[in-house]
Structure 1
Amino acid sequence: MDLDEVAARLYALPPSDFTAARAEEARSAKQAGDAALAREIGKLRKPTVSAWAVNRAAREHPGELDELLALGEELREAWASQDADALAEATRRRGELTGRLSRLIRQDADLSSAAVAEVDQTLDAAVVDADAADEVRRGRLAKPLSYSGFAPAPVTRGAPRRKKPAPEEDDERAARRAEIEARKAKEREEAEAAHREWSEALAEAEREHGERAEKVDRLEKKLAKARKRLADTAHRLEVARREERHARARLSD
């Protein structure tokens, strides 16, 4: 058993089953003598509903997903080469394929409007960004993805030239600000996800601790009764031995 195998099993589960299953997998790894694996399993984050829905699509609709991600490669290549015809065609097909896969995902699970929006946001990110595409393809998302860069868009031939860009230093400052804001937003998302996860882990630990404390209390009460019965038996045994010795002594007189 390795982390990839465990992660594949866990992220195939509904979010409601994830925490308990993760604890069981970690316990099994620890019992097998692999404490390092148990720690790594414990770090796996519970997926949001939208992330789980996309993970499920990666397993149940791989053909549709592969077609969409392949189109994403074509779209990025067309954008890089500024091929107007290829970019326009890829953009048209992007809407069709994204819509088809999104409908399949909604048919598979009863999602809220917010979750549906996150699913569409994740699919868009996978089309535009190669790293996001790899994450979606693996089917182990813990949260929805988003893309904050410039998304490929059709190039209109004969369109008027844009105004000259701002000076280079202004662009650099804007890029730095955008990078800082994106990093802060990502850190906040990660912190919120970690807080939700550990809150669930705390509730589970408190429940388990309460159950075991009650069990220990019951066992201690049983032990106290057993010790009292043992003491009573020991007393009767001592009385019986003493009386037996006296009776034996009278026989010998």
Structure 2
Amino acid sequence: MDLDEVAGRLYALPPSEFTAARTAEARAAKDAGDVRLSREIAKLRKPTVSAWAVNRVAREHPGELGELLEVGERLRAAWQEQDAEALADLTRRRGEVTRTVGRLARQAGDLSAAASAEVDQTLDAAMVDADAAGQVRRGTLAKPLSYSGFAPAPVRRERPAARRRPAPDEEAARAEEREEAEARKAKERQEAENAHREWREALEAATKEHDERADKVASLERKLDEARRRLADSRQRLEVAQREERHARRRLER
């Protein structure tokens, strides 16, 4: 028995069963004389709901997840090569496979809006980062993954030293550089807008969920206040009945 084997069993469980199973696994390792393994098992973190949903997809739908990770690998290569045609096609495929795998993850249970957003965030991270892809493939996530920026930065190729050109050619070169700079700014602006739109949608979903739960709590508090008022009325009637019963009993005993 090794840590990977134990982690595979534990992270296949629903979060509600994780802690008790981890304790049992750590105890079994200790009873077997492997104290080091027991300590490593005890350090394994209970998965969040969103991480568990992604882990479940890795085990139950490896084909669909494998397709997503393959598209991510090809997309990263296209970014590096700055292959515009491939980027256009793979970006379309990215949306399709992400929606498919995200839907499968949500079928794992009744995910909240926040957990659902974390699933999408984790799948996006697996698309653009090879390390994140490896973690998702193993199916032992304890928490959602994220990445900085909208996409990996493309490889910047060094320009060869330009030969001295006549003045008209120099002006054309400067114009080309200005166009390239403007194109880079436009691309960075688009990436920033896309990232902002994604997080704005996540914020709206989280706000809606918060407001709904706040309304539910307020409704329960109103019901609790009403129940306490009725209890106070019942207590008052009880005290009156107890007092009158005592008086009646005393008259009867005379």
Which residue of the partner structure matches residue 107 of structure 2?
Answer: 107
Deviations 1:3-37 (A, max 9, x none): 11110000000111101100000001111111111
Whole-Å separation in 1 of the counterparts to 2:108 and 2:86: 33
Which residue of the partner structure matches residue 116 of structure 2?
Answer: 116
Pair 1:32-2:51 in alignment: no
Can you give the 5+ residue segments of structure 2 that lack an aligned partner in the other structure?
154-175, 186-254
Distance 1:127 1:165, change over 3 A: closer
Whole-Å separation in 1 of the counterparts to 2:112 and 2:182: 42
Which residue of the partner structure matches residue 63 of structure 1?
Answer: 63
Counterpart contact for 1:75–1:152, Cα < 8 Å? no
Which residue of the partner structure matches residue 18 of structure 2?
Answer: 18
Whole-Å separation in 2 of the counterparts to 1:77 and 1:23: 43
Whole-Å separation in 1 of the counterparts to 2:81 and 2:91: 15
Deviations 1:78-122 (A, max 9, x none): 000000000110000000000011111112211001000000000
Which residue of the partner structure matches residue 48 of structure 1?
Answer: 48
Whole-Å separation in 2 of the counterparts to 1:152 and 1:91: 14
Whole-Å separation in 1 of the counterparts to 2:114 and 2:66: 25
Whole-Å separation in 2 of the counterparts to 1:112 and 1:150: 24
TM-score, scaled to structure 2: 0.61
Deviations 1:127-185 (A, max 9, x none): 000000000000000000001044159xxxx9x5334989xxxxxxxxxxxxxxxxxxx
Which residue of the partner structure matches residue 147 of structure 1?
Answer: 147
Aligned length: 163
Which residue of the partner structure matches residue 134 of structure 1?
Answer: 134
Deviations 1:194-221 (A, max 9, x none): xxxxxxxxxxxxxxxxxxxxxxxxxxxx
Whole-Å separation in 1 of the counterparts to 2:100 and 2:149: 25
Paired residue type of 2:123: L
Percent identity, please: 73
Counterpart contact for 1:52–1:141, Cα < 8 Å? yes
Paired residue type of 2:30: K
Q: 103-112 or 5-14: which moved more?
A: 103-112
Pick the structure with greater CA Rg. 1
Which residue of the partner structure matches residue 238 of structure 1?
Answer: none
The ranges of structure 1 where at least 4 consecutive aligned residues each deviate by more than 3 angstroms after the TM superposition are: 163-166
Selected match of 1:161 from 177, 180, 184: 180
Question: Which aligned pairs between 1:195-214 and structure 2 lie closer than 5 A?
Answer: none
Distance 1:165 1:108, change over 3 A: closer
Whole-Å separation in 2 of the counterparts to 1:76 and 1:8: 28
Deviations 1:54-92 (A, max 9, x none): 000000010000000000011001000000000110000
Q: Give secondary structure in 1 for the equivalent of 2:142.
A: coil
Which residue of the partner structure matches residue 95 of structure 1?
Answer: 95
Which residue of the partner structure matches residue 216 of structure 1?
Answer: none
Q: Give secondary structure in 2 for the equivalent of 1:161.
A: helix
